[in-house]
């Protein structure tokens, strides 16, 4: 019993730098998106560079989807803390499926823009920013999905609870971050359309 407690404490100590690295990554990603939106503001402030498009309503559906996925991620984390591993896995599965749905809805949104002849290569780069914002965010979604799948796979293995909680915490931090970033980008684009 004593050896298990010592190993758990050792595991906690070994994981602390990794948590710090996650926070550094989140900070740099936040600064990256802040720089992108700042670039948009500077460019669109010029004469004739307004966005001049109405966002397809499908982006609202993707926003709702990712918000719901944050709820399922929270429920999965809570289940892990209370040792309800079946619920933890179920809510992780739901979060992954909602993440995939979000990804698919975003790609569908691009299809709608293309059908309206609103292309990435455009004389008005403000429109190109819509593609850049969503593409950079989708890269983060892919990273988040990989992190979630890794956490799910490890939850099926007989891992120590401290490592299970660590995996859940890292996944939750990152997933909630990509949720917040998308809501920020969506609201930003809504405020700058037309």
Rg (CA), the chain: 20
Are the C-beta atoms of residues 130 and 154 closer than 8 Å to each other?
Answer: no
Query: What DSSP designation does 121 have?
Result: S
CB atoms within 10 A of CB 113: 21
pTM of the predicted model as reported, rounded to 2 decimal places: 0.86
Domain annotation for the chain: domains and CATH numbers: 54-192 (1.20.120.80)
Q: How far apart are CA 113 and CA 136, in angstroms?
A: 17
pLDDT in tens, 85-114: 999 999 999 999 999 999 999 999 999 999
In the predicted structure, residue 117 carries a pLDDT above the cut 90: no
Contacts of 7 (CB under 8 A, 6+ apart): 160
Q: What is the pLDDT of residue 170?
A: 92
pLDDT in tens, 44-97: 776 666 677 888 899 999 999 999 999 999 999 999 999 899 999 999 999 999
């Amino acid at each position: 019993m004593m050896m298990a407690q010592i190993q758990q404490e050792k595991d906690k100590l070994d994981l602390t730098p990794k948590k710090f690295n996650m926070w550094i990554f989140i900070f740099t990603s936040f600064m990256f998106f802040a720089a992108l939106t700042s670039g948009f503001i500077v460019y669109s402030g010029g004469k004739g560079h307004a966005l001049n498009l109405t966002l397809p309503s499908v982006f609202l559906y993707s926003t709702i989807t990712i918000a719901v996925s944050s709820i399922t991620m929270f429920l999965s984390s809570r289940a892990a803390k209370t040792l309800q591993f079946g619920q933890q896995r179920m809510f992780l599965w739901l979060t992954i499926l909602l993440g995939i749905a979000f990804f698919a809805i975003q790609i569908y949104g691009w299809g709608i823009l293309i059908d309206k002849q609103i292309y990435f290569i455009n004389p008005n780069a403000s429109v190109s920013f819509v593609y850049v914002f969503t593409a950079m965010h989708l890269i983060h979604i892919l990273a988040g999905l990989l992190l979630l799948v890794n956490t799910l796979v490890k939850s099926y293995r007989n891992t120590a609870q401290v490592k299970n909680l660590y995996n859940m915490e890292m996944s939750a931090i990152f997933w909630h971050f990509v949720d917040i970033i998308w809501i920020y980008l969506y609201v930003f684009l809504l405020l700058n359309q037309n």
